[in-house]
Amino acid sequence: MVSVRRVLSILFCLLMAGLVSSLAVGYFSADGIQWIDAVRIVLLAASTGWLAWGAAYAFNGLLSLPLKREDKTFELVPTSARTAVLVPVYNEDPVKTFSHVAAMIGSLHALGVAGRFDFAILSDTRDPEVAEKEERWFQRLQLECGAHTDIFYRRREQNTGKKAGNVADFIRTSGALYEYMIVLDADSLMEGATMAEMVRRMDHDPRLGLLQTLPKIVHARSFFGRAMQFSTGYYSPIYTRGLAALQGTAGPFWGHNAIVRTRAFAQSCGLPELSGRPPFGGHILSHDYVEAALLTRNGWTVRVDPDLTGSYEEGPDNVVDFAKRDRRWCQGNLQHGRVMVAPGLKPWSRFVFVQNIMAYVASPLWALFIIASIAAPTLKGVPDYFPEPGLSAVFPRVEQGLALTLLVGVFGLLIGPKLLIVARGAISGVNETFGGTGRALLNTLTEILSTSLLAPIMLMYQCRAVLEVFFGMDGGWPATDREAGSVSLSEAWSASWWISATGLVTLGLAFQFAPEYVGWLLLVAGPQVFAPILIHVSSRSALGTAEAGLFETADDRNPSPVVLRQEAILAHWRGAEASAPAFRPVPEPAFEAADAER
């Protein structure tokens, strides 16, 4: 069945690319078709095929869903397995990070299974002040939570291999003690019941090497952040279900909020250092998909289970911080061009690497299509109105209908799946958890509008990232400011003035050389011209409007207990940090709540 889905999905993408190419031929040939039109058609076909692949995920996910919403409860099953919960940190705020750890321990304690899990905080912090603060707050974490589970802290002298090297170092020194490892990020949160269920599923399937959950975004504050939070809560379960249906046992690994079988990971996932200098050489930055491919190569199952609820992370609250993180992903994904030829990999794993590369190459393809469209009238020259001697003049046709059909088709691949998700949610009852179908539809349309405005800006950031990589510029692994707030107008201008300039130049060239395309190009160049304003406004706090239902999610209406615990612990700790320099054992909100539940 998986093979059939794959074939049908690929055929769907080829069909969409073919249909769009056919429409483009009709439109571009209105004044005679030349080599520049062939270039445009190829670029448009490749870009449309990529859009169709994203739509294929949604269609597979929609077809895989039950008609009615199912509320799952996880069964607590005894196990003798020991599990290490790994929390890699790199110049993070330890108060924030350790509040996540404390909340998860509290959630496990409420279930009575905290003793089965050990927590290991693996620090790669290079800033001495942050490192000193980590050590002090680790003492507090031990004082308040150490009675319920074992908690360890280790800081490496050298952060060789970045996060992947950090995890590998733990496996070499301590991995033999644990059957499984739950790998997290510094901003990850998971319900204790979810962690226990992950262990149960690993116990049940001895060939399961890695089990990935779908993390949903929480604690978003800005308009941009809440739009992402709504997307991960509302659309992502459908797209991930489609991903699971297509990838089968060769599933994804997103680097966090997943459980791995320690023995399988140790045997399979030793990562090489690529020859040459970064960005294409050196340590593999997007290591997670490589590790998934290596597990699959050795016969282990890699799977994503979208029904594993209670898995959370935090995302960037503004476009600038999102673009910084995206730059690292771009470099790591382009490195996959060297990894995909490794011997023994499954064909699907190689195809996944192609997808990862295409995720960033798609933006330059769209940019080249725009450039070619502006240049086409000049390169084609003046039309020949008398192609046959002695016959009357033949004037070019204005195929605006074809142009509109072409535009609708491309946008349909982007927004059609989201509207189908709303319709399916109305049938299944999922929309009730998002405030009803009317509110879900309104939020979907608002998200589509905001995404459409910001997409041309992200296109420019991705184009720059790809060019930097191809020109040999190493972006490294910058620290993440996970609580970055709004971006001032001056900061937005500094970060995006070149995007505004590009938009103005694009429109100027279009007016000069291709005035018939100005109306269409406004959809792209218009948001680019106003990039600083859009970045600034989208980073502003949306918490007030959130209370009125803007981008409301199921977790807004019914917050997860572990999220509430983390918020209470963080508020308590930050209050104590401001009022008292010395640490001492104090009542801790997570365990008061846990004891009350028991």
Residues 534 and 427 in one domain: yes
When pLDDT is averaged across residues 339-349 and rounded to a whole number, the result is: 95
Q: Is residue 565 part of a domain?
A: no
Q: Which of 544, 574, 590 is the last residue of a domain?
A: 544
Tens of pLDDT, residues 8-34? 999 999 999 999 888 888 877 766 678
Does residue 589 surpass a pLDDT of 60?
Answer: no
Domains: count for the chain:
2
Q: How far is CA 500 from CA 32, 65, 146, 325, 341, in A?
A: 34, 43, 53, 21, 39
DSSP-assigned states of every residue in 446-494: HHHHHHHHHHHHHHHHHHHHHHHHHTT-----PPP-TT--PPPHHHHHH
Phi/psi for 350 (5° steps) reads: -65, -40
Residue 597 lies in a domain: no
Q: Are residue 235 and residue 117 in the same domain, yes or no?
A: yes
Q: How far is CA 508 from the centre of its chain?
A: 35
Q: Would 40 be classed as within a structural domain?
A: yes
Q: Indicate whether 164 pLDDT > 70.
A: yes
Task: Give the whole-angstrom CA distance, residue 356 versus residue 336.
Answer: 8
For the cut 90, the answer to whether the pLDDT of residue 484 exceeds it is no
Q: What is the mean pLDDT of residues 148-159?
A: 92
Domain that holds residue 87: 83-357
CATH code (residue 268): 3.90.550.10
Q: 142 and 51: one domain?
A: no
Q: Does 161 score more than 80 pLDDT?
A: yes
Closest CA to 332 of 251, 255, 248: 255
Both tokens of 361, joined, read 């190459």
Q: What tens digit of pLDDT does each residue of 45-97 get? A: 999 999 999 999 999 999 987 655 555 667 777 788 999 999 999 999 999 99
pTM for this predicted structure: 0.90
Residue type, 281: G
pLDDT of residue 455: 96
Q: Residue 323 is encoded by which pair of tokens?
A: 């673009």
Mean pLDDT of 416-425: 96
Contacts of residue 309, defined as CB under 8 A and 6 or more positions apart, other chains included, come to 72, 191, 194
573 strand-pairing partners: none
Does 93 lie in the same domain as 43? no
- Chain centre to alpha carbon of residue 593: 33
Question: pLDDT tens digits, residue range 228-279?
Answer: 999 999 999 999 999 999 999 999 999 999 999 999 999 999 888 899 999 9
Task: Indicate whether 139 and 214 sit together in one domain.
Answer: yes
3-state secondary structure 547-586: CCCCCCCHHHHCCCHHHHHHHHHHHHHHHHHHHCCCCCCC
Please give the average per-residue pLDDT across 187-214, as a whole number: 96
Number of Cβ within a 10 Å radius of residue 388? 8
Residue 94 resides in a domain: yes
What is the structure's pLDDT at 396? 46
Distance, in Å, from the CA atom of 253 to the CA atom of 163, rounded to the nearest integer, reads 14
Residues 255, 127 share a domain: yes
Tell me, yes or no, whether 575 lies in a domain.
no
Are residues 332 and 423 both part of a single domain? no
Pick from 129-133, 191-195, 389-393: least confident: 389-393
Name the residue type at position 108. L
User: Which 3 state secondary structure label does DSSP give 111?
Assistant: helix
The band of 546, judged by pLDDT with boundaries at 50, 70 and 90, is low
